[in-house]
Amino acid sequence: MLAAPSSAAPLDPNAAVGAMNAARNKVGCPSLALNSALTSAAEAHSGDMARTKRATSAGSGKSTPATRIKDAGYEASSVGELVLMTPPAATSADVVGAFVNSENKSILNCKFTDVGIAVVSGSNSNSYWTIDLARPA
């Protein structure tokens, strides 16, 4: 289990991926596999968002999801990223549910095969979530 700061709700990546896969299976998509390189990219970006207090896929130094994922050691043919700032009590189930039910259907995009997820608390007590999705090259 990834450690979340004490002010953020604990992250259970296996439960989060299970919830994503349940939603994907309902629409005929294969299950996602939790990937350590994508998790590293997500952790780094959540940390960056917490430091800057901004929930955006544009990182400090103009990094993009594709560059962060490549820098983490994952060679991708396709990438997607979901980011969210929440109150500290939000759980991974809350976040996954929000994305599955939103207009952004990246979690339900069948081209993605791997996922990483992270949450970091900011000094403003908000939690900064990143879900990185990819398909290998």
Residue-wise pLDDT for 84-98, tens only, equals 999 888 888 888 888
21 membership: H or E segment, kind and range: helix 13-26
pLDDT in tens, 22-68: 999 999 999 999 999 999 999 999 999 999 999 999 998 899 999 99
State both tokens at 86: 């929440």
For residue 13, give the amino acid letter.
P
Beta bridge partners of 83: 130
User: What is the chain's Cα-based Rg?
Assistant: 14
* 57, 59, 63, 66 alpha-carbon torsion, rounded to 10°: -30
Predicted TM-score of the model (pTM): 0.90
Count other C-beta atoms under 10 Å from residue 57's C-beta. 16
